[in-house]
């Protein structure tokens, strides 16, 4: 009798996929999450780790950006310190968030600190913006 039950179980389990047209008969797999890429990465330098954009340009934070919801660098300031742009569809990923700007555009922030590049930096790895004023600092992953 035990052999009959074991044989019946084996047959039942092996015919399930055939009865479901070879699709396994279960629920469909969950949809894959959208692939999202962080807007910046960490690089190690002699001065310690720092954040750079995907082109390798140094990123900076502004001391007057304190709320985590807006940028205080607009108008002429944004010509000297270029906000790290985010697309209209961009969504937060990890420590990176999206902030709305006064002009209606969006920009990336790291741990709610808006991120900028400096036109004084001409090549990946440059950090010339750090010397212009104490209100601007290189963005570091520990901030």
Report how far residue 81's alpha carbon sits from residue 105's, in angstroms, rounded to the nearest whole number: 15
Is 21 within 8 Å of 101 (Cβ atoms)?
A: no
pLDDT single digits (tens) 44-92: 988 889 999 999 999 999 999 988 889 999 999 998 899 999 999 999 9
Where in the chain does DSSP place strands (E)?
40-45, 48-53, 60-62, 82-83, 85-86, 96-100, 106-110, 113-114, 116-117, 136-138
Query: Quick one: pLDDT band at residue 8, thresholds 50, 70, 90?
Result: very low
Give the C-alpha separation, 94 to 122, whole Å: 29
pLDDT digits 0-9 by tens, 103-132? 999 999 999 999 999 999 999 989 888 755
Note whether 117 and 84 are within 8 A (CB).
yes
């Amino acid at each position: 009798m035990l052999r009959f039950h074991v044989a019946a179980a084996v047959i039942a389990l092996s015919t399930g996929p055939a009865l479901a047209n070879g699709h396994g008969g279960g629920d469909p797999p969950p949809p894959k999450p959208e692939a999202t890429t962080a807007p910046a990465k960490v690089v190690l330098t002699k001065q310690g780790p720092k954040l750079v954009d995907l082109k390798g340009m140094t990123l900076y934070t502004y001391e007057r950006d304190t709320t985590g919801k807006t940028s205080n660098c607009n108008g002429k300031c944004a010509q000297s310190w270029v906000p790290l742009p985010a697309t209209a569809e961009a969504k937060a990923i990890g420590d990176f968030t999206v902030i709305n700007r006064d002009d209606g555009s969006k920009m990336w922030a790291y741990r709610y600190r808006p991120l900028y590049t400096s036109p004084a930096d001409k090549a990946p790895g440059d950090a010339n913006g750090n010397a212009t004023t104490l209100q601007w600092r290189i963005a570091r992953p520990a901030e």
